[in-house]
Structure 1
Amino acid sequence: MPPKLIGPYRVMETLGSGGVGTVYRALDRRTSDPVALKLLSAGPALDTRAARRLAREYETLADLSHPNVVRVFDVGVFQGYPYLVMELIEGLTLRNYLNLRGADLLSPSGSFSTPRSRSLPDDFDSWSDEDEAASHADDDDEESGPSPFNLSAFSEEEPSEDMSLHAGAESVRALADAADEPDTGELEAFEEPLEVPDPKVQLVERRIQEARTEDLNRPERMGKLKDAMLQVCEALAYIHGHGLMHRDLKPSNIMVDEDRQVRLMDFGLAKFLADDAGLTADGRMVGTFRYMAPEQILGEPLDARADLYSLGVILYELMTGRTPFDAKTPSALWQQVLEVEPAPILGINLKGDPQLARVAHKLLRKEPDDRFQTAEEVYEALAE
């Protein structure tokens, strides 16, 4: 299919698609810069929550500039299709990046030799922000669903002044409001499949886990993990310093480019600390269940330490191959998060890095006051 025009952007190729939209590699014809363009479905297929997240993400990031935080450039509605233009990142999600071995890391041209995610989360096939099952923390299977619409509907001609192009986050939010109930300012939590296998499957998985921990502890992998965590800390220190919480930190929202530079992605649930609320106006939680801090589950006021708890879940998962807690239902999972101490990392991964394990366990303390208090403190502990 030949490239099409979406406002001032020329679409070059599809990077990924899902049930509510598609991400394209595009070219800004005004600057000749490559960009990533998220385009949501329109009409009856419009996902109004996704549209509001698009507007929120732009508003959150528009004035931020940090090497470890993804940049956004434009947002609006084109012929009924909400879009967000952002930095094009040629890279992999953190989990897939850590899976790479030395010989596979770079191709002769200097780029990643495996399929690249390019500004997409691991779970973009559903675009629901549900992360992979925690027991498959190092699985690198990625799928892309069929495109939900056809770009042939767009003109190849130069856009005229009267074409249906409306710039700005408010145009996206107005479109969502017209298609659905008024925006409450919040979005609900992401329900993930929470399944517990039968005992025979568990036995097999334990044996596999024992073999996999050897791979988890490869010096090259651990070096990359530590370096990535330091960069994530720098990103968190920056956004927290600007009064923001991410509120949906997880491996699929962390990308690593070809220069091994980390980018924190997907700020659709980010919120200013001064405007904090743990729950929505109608009692819904926001975030992804497996990575939620206890205070987030309880609907208590949140601060930056909730993001640090999520960072602890990520570190625990990437050191052991599983998240700290797993259960059959969300309510059972929440009970574990609130009442149960996570199994010791070094009891699961006997040869794991003791320093990283100590950092992870302190991040996972139930009480925010018992955790590291800032991302800078976490950075210092990791750098020791």
Structure 2
Amino acid sequence: MRIADRYELEAMVGRGGMGEVWRATDEVLMRPVAIKLLTDHQAGAGARLRREAQAGAMIHNPHVVDVHDFGAYDDSPYLVMEFVAGTTVAGELRRGRPLPISAVAHIVAQTAEGLLAAHHEGVVHRDIKPANLLLGRDGTVKIADFGIARFLDDAADSDSAEHIVGTSFYVAPERARAAPAGPAADIYSLGCVLYQLLTGAPPFLADTPTGVLRCHVSGVPVVPSGVEAGVGRQLLRMLAKDPADRPDAQEVITWCHQVSWPATTLACEPADFGEVTQAIA
């Protein structure tokens, strides 16, 4: 199948709530690309894909997936992106193999570098989670899926109490309260990812998405046993309830490079906590 008389689709490599992602070849520039095609044509899906294209095009950083093109095929929008050969952080967690602490620091630092670039452009990702962190074969981490990103200069863009879009395990408390999310919300979500990398599960679990959201608002995260004290303190800072108490992306990067990470392998086993939901009503 060929799109726009240029992109030859080869194999589906992912499927999400809005559509499918295909590996393809750009036959004009002769390079591999990834193409996201909408399969869900409900109201707002096309706008989310356009937002993802706009946000990605604004950010130029080795730790954010490059956006190459955006268009329509058979009246359905598509997004052409950099193809990253490898897996995701979620895929790495599913392998069930403990990660060296140095690898955890590497993942967090690179994600923070991508977030720093996004925040500099006034873009808040709002859906940082293991599945949206691509992990290349060379170990490079790239942030993907800016479909629910918020532009800081858009004062009207905030969540409603009735419909919070995102994945409940990684939603910042302010978003759980339906308040506008600034850059600190991404740091909280990255803190949840760090917690999962250290323990195998996110900081808060519950039987329902609503229960998880309540935990983000009022629950107290427990520092995992065996985690070095300095790592635990930084983790709790990233998971602070008040956005003003969290470090910014640059502080996280500096900390990752300066902290004396133990040269050990995590002993925990990834927990089977499932995926609760992508759209939280």
Distance (whole Å) between structure 2 residues aligned to residue 332 and residue 258 of structure 1: 37
> Is 1:331 equivalent to 2:206 in the alignment?
no
Change (3 A) 1:50 1:376: same
Offset from partner CA, 1:108-131 (integer Å, 9 cap, x none): xxxxxxxxxxxxxxxxxxxxxxxx
Q: CA RMSD in A?
A: 2.1
Q: Which residue of 2 aligns with 1:261?
A: 140
Distance change >3 Å, CA 343–CA 72, structure 1 → 2: same
Q: Paired residue for 1:94, among 89, 92, 106?
A: 89
Contact 1:278 1:285 in 2 (8 A): no
Task: Determine the structure 2 residue equivalent to 1:124.
Answer: none
Q: What amino acid is aligned across from residue 205 of structure 2 in structure 1?
A: D
SS in structure 2 at match of 1:324 = coil
Give 1:275-314 correspondences, 5 Å limit: 275-276=154-155, 277-280=157-160, 283-314=162-193
Residue 152 of structure 2 is aligned to residue 273 of structure 1: yes
Pick aligned residue for 2:38 from 40, 43, 61: 40
Work out the number of aligned pairs and report it.
256
Contact 2:58–2:121 (CA under 8 A) maintained in structure 1: no
* 1:5 alignment partner AA: R
**Cα 1:19–1:249 shift into 2, 3 Å:** closer
- TM, length-normalised to structure 1: 0.62
Q: CA deviation at 1:229?
A: 0.8
Structure number with the higher strand fraction is: 2
2:124 paired residue among 245, 258, 262: 245
CA deviations over 1:133-173 (Å, ceiling 9, x no partner): xxxxx324xxxxxxxxxxxxxxxxxxxxxxxxxxxxxxxxx
Structure 1 residue identity aligned to 2:224: I
Contact 1:278 1:286 in 2 (8 A): no
- Residue aligning to 2:224: 345
Match of 1:23, SS state, is: strand
* Unaligned 5+ runs, structure 1: 98-137, 141-211
Q: Give the match for residue 225 of structure 1.
A: 104
Return the offset for 1:344.
Answer: 2.0
Tell me how far 1:334 sits from its aligned partner: 2.4
CA contact (8 A) 1:93 1:252 kept: yes
1:262 to partner: Cα distance: 0.8
Deviations 1:290-320 (A, max 9, x none): 1111111112232111111111111111111
After superposition, where does 1:154-193 map in structure 2 within 5 Å? none
| Alpha-carbon shift at residue 20 of structure 1 (Å) | 5.1
Measured after TM superposition, the shift of residue 21 of structure 1 is 3.4
Q: Secondary structure at the match of 1:30?
A: coil
Which letter does structure 2 place at the counterpart of 1:267? F
Q: Deviations over 1:168-211 (max 9, x none)?
A: xxxxxxxxxxxxxxxxxxxxxxxxxxxxxxxxxxxxxxxxxxxx
C-alpha separation between the residues in 2 aligned to 1:224 and 1:296?
29
- Highest CA radius of gyration, 1 or 2? 1
- Tell whether the 8 Å contact from 2:20 to 2:36 is kept in structure 1 after alignment: yes
Q: In structure 2, how many angstroms separate the alpha carbons of the residues matched to 1:291 and 1:48?
A: 25
How far apart, CA to CA, are the structure 1 residues paired with 2:219 and 2:11? 47
Identify the match of residue 375 of structure 1 among 238, 245, 249. 249
Q: Aligned pair in 2 of structure 1 residues 377, 91: CA closer, same or farther (>3 Å)?
A: same
Change (3 A) 1:329 1:17: closer
Task: Supply the distance in 2 between the matched residues of 1:285 and 1:363 (Cα, whole angstroms).
Answer: 21
Residue in structure 2 matched with residue 165 of structure 1 by the alignment: none
* Partner residue, 1:83: 78
- Give, as a single letter, the amino acid of the residue that structure 2 aligns with 1:40: L
Deviation at 1:71, TM superposition (A): 0.7
Contact 2:60–2:117 (Cα < 8 Å) also in 1: no
Q: Name stretches of at least 5 consecutive residues in structure 2 with no aligned partner.
A: 259-281
Match of 1:6? 3
Retained in 2: the 8 A contact 1:356–1:382?
A: no
Q: Is the 8 A contact 1:359 1:382 kept in 2?
A: no
Structure 1 CA distance for aligned equivalents of residues 19 and 112 of structure 2: 31
